[in-house]
Chains A and B, each alone.
Chain A
Amino acid sequence: MFDDFSSSFIIQHYNYWMVIVLMMVGLYIVVSRGNLVKKIVGLNLFQTAVFMLYISVGKIIGGTAPILTGNPDEVYSNPLPHVLILTAIVVGVATTALGLALIVRINERYGTIEEDEIADIEQEIDRQESA
């Protein structure tokens, strides 16, 4: 059933497929796991998938890193996605740090990092307040 076109379509775009799979894995973890640290892990996976997507977009076959070499025939990869993703990596690190810091605070406050347990405690507090 793999005819010429479709097989080449799938194979030639393998990096995108990998990105999609990786992204969905991350998303799934964020949605399904109650543990906040695991959520952060999922988030990072998701993030990485986005990075790889952009970097793949910027890759030109046969191109070198976008550093001037003096050779007028040299082919470079697109520098813009790389720059963007460089920034995003930094932001991603910061986000992860902030998230982890919040998790530490939550752990101190509620004694747990399981999301459903936190929600239960929250509701209990609300009920007591309104009563």
Chain B
Amino acid sequence: MNAKTDTSLPAIARLLGRLDGRMLFWLLVLAGVLLALSDFAYHRHEIFDFEAVPLFYAGFAAASVLVLVLAGGIFRALFKRGENFYAPFSTDSEPPLKAQERDHA
């Protein structure tokens, strides 16, 4: 089932369906490349020396995500426990909220 063409879905859903594909990624890459190239065209008024390094921000952002993903992975490996770890003292171990509970709340 392709969400992009599924006419039973609302128009916004179909639009979002397009984003879900490869297109978004390549659009982003295109925008990113353009923005990165602008570093060479535009001279910013940096306060810190290292800001002047070309592609500093782009690289820093990408590196941040990588660091975060890796750190998250390590934390997950170290600290992940079952949902019942604290049961019955937490809501994590409880079943999904039933419809009437949600309405009541």
Do chains A and B directly touch (beta carbons under 8 Å) in the complex? no
Chain A positions within 8 Å of B, measured between CB atoms, are none
Interface residues of B (CB under 8 A from A): none
